[in-house]
Amino acid sequence: MIGDGDFVVALGQIKSEGKGGGQIQYAYCDVWRFDGGKMVELKAYVVGKRRKA
């Protein structure tokens, strides 16, 4: 996590079970914006990671 002023950014990886039962890996980035100590905005990005051939 990285915080600066009214913004906090989190980067990470998650796994989910696919339709065939296998694991699918994703990378994510969440960007939070705060105002007056309250969260006023959230942007979330999730990208599927490429599988090695």
What string of H, E and C letters represents the secondary structure of 26-45? EEEEEEEEEECCEEEEEEEE
Give the per-residue pLDDT at 44: 97
Q: Which helix (H) or strand (E) holds 12?
A: strand 7-17
Q: What is the pLDDT of residue 14?
A: 93
Is residue 53 in a domain?
no
The predicted pLDDT at position 9 comes to 98
- The answer to whether residue 20 is domain-embedded is yes
Report the domain count for the chain: 1
Q: Is 24 helix (H, G, I), strand (E, B) or coil?
A: strand
pLDDT of amino acid 19: 81
Angle (CA) 18-24-27 rounded to 5° is 140
Q: What is the pLDDT of residue 41?
A: 98
CATH code assigned at 17: 3.10.450.50
Q: What is the pTM of this model?
A: 0.74
Averages of pLDDT over each 10 residues, the chain, 53 residues: 96 88 91 97 92 60
